[in-house]
Amino acid sequence: MSSTKPLKQKRRAPKANAKRSPSKFAASRNWLERELSGVRVVQAASLARIPWLVHGFSTRPGGASELNGQRVLNLSVTDWDARENVVENRTRFVAALVGANALVAKNGLAREMQLVALKQIHSDVVHAFAAPPKEACQGDASITHQQGLLLGVQTADCVPILLVDPKRRAVAAVHAGWRGTLARVVAKTVGQIQMRFGSKAADLLAAIGPSIGGCCYEVGTEVATQFTSQFTDAADYFDELRTGDEPNPLQWLNMMPPGHQPPPKNVLLDLRKANRAQLLAAGLRDANITVSDLCTACRRDLFFSYRKEGAATGRMLSAIGIAR
């Protein structure tokens, strides 16, 4: 599995009085970090190589919104933020994504790229867009082979997944929380791309962006039970909260019922692992799946975390599109 590497410092001589550049948190063989006008985006190296593709995952710092005295790039309308801030942040984010692709930026190809976001409902609903909709559609994944549309999903812990078929020129954006993962939204999106655009799963590239990690995502055992009823390898996605007293970790998952000890109240769920497994099962090649190991809950300096901060936090956007 490909993943991000730990912090890496920029190799640039520090200038006197220059604003200290934050360390590159995402730079590795598999991930790139780009900055344009104070907006930092994360890109999968495999997708960044495609000359006609515009894509990226947003981060928290910078932007027109203010949260707890800090400037943040909130990309979704919330109670604590003004709509015009969100509009401005989205404009900057799209500009950063376009600017990250040297070829597209140079040719002005992406000037009219239009962001298409969804009214997300934690479902398995996939929309195919040939043109921007008049109003945001309810659903959690979108696909297109149309140029000029920038498909976006909003997250603050949930897993954002971007897909591209470099051969047939088709793209998809997927939002997968635990409900969407359980409903197999990413597998269904792959199915839709194949059905509508004639793509082969083995040709698809996937980027699983920053999301809450198995280190932080605590769920009740009723969630784990739902996963075990749906996925034969579900035990791989879960870990126990360690108290040091467990005689046999995860025993309750394998021996139900009847169990000799009561199951733990909560367990840790690794949603990235679960979604990666769905992509593999759908026919994607292991080497074509890039997974970020940046945890939104651990790295609140870089991302918004609904779990850690509650409703009064922002939203990231992950977007992908075909340049005109």
CB of 67 vs Zn ion, minimal distance in Å: 20
Shortest Å, Cβ 306 to Zn ion: 13
Which CB, 48 or 302, lies closer to Zn ion?
Answer: 302
Maximum alpha-carbon separation in the chain:
68
- Contact (Cβ atoms closer than 8 angstroms) between residue 46 and residue 287: no
Residues 163-182 that bind Zn ion (CB under 5 A): none
The residue (of 56 and 210) whose beta carbon lies closer to Zn ion is 210
Q: Is 241 in the site for Zn ion (CB under 5 A)?
A: no
Apex 224 CA angle, 187 and 1, nearest 5: 50
Question: Which lies closer to Zn ion via its Cβ, residue 196 or residue 307?
Answer: 307
Which among 322, 306, 308, 298 has a CA at the least distance from the CA of 74?
A: 306
Q: How far is CA 25 from the centre of its chain?
A: 16
CA distance 45 to 22: 20
The residue count for binding Zn ion (CB under 5 A) is 6
The residues near 16 (Cβ < 8 Å, ≥ 6 apart) are: none
**Minimum distance, C-beta of residue 241 to Zn ion, in the bound complex (Å):** 13
Q: Under rule CB under 5 A, which residues in 187-226 are in contact with Zn ion?
A: 213, 215-216
Do 24 and 33 touch, CB atoms closer than 8 A? yes
Q: Please provide the size of the chain in residues.
A: 324
* Sign of the dihedral defined by the CA atoms of residues 3, 100, 107, 161, in that order: positive
The verdict on 297 binding Zn ion (CB under 5 A) reads yes
Between 82 and 216, name the residue whose CB sits nearer to Zn ion.
216
User: Which positions from 276 through 295 interact with Zn ion, judged by CB under 5 A?
Assistant: 295
Of 57 and 197, CB closest to Zn ion: 57
CA dihedral 9, 12, 13, 18 (to 10 degrees): -90
Closest to Zn ion by CB, 267 vs 282, is 267
- Please give the structure tokens belonging to residue 267: 């367990």
Q: Is 250 in the site for Zn ion (CB under 5 A)?
A: no
Q: How far is the CB of 216 from Zn ion (least distance, A)?
A: 3
Q: Can you tell me which residue has the tokens 């989205």?
A: 90
Going by C-beta distance under 8 Å and a sequence separation of 6 or more, which residues neighbour residue 87? Answer: none
What's the closest the beta carbon of residue 293 comes to Zn ion, in angstroms? 10
The residue among 20 and 242 lying less far from Zn ion, judged by its C-beta, is 242
From 298, 308, 309, 324, residue interacting with Zn ion (rule: CB under 5 A): 298
Nearest distance in Å: CB 212, Zn ion: 6
Contacting residues toward Zn ion, per CB under 5 A: 213, 215-216, 295, 297-298
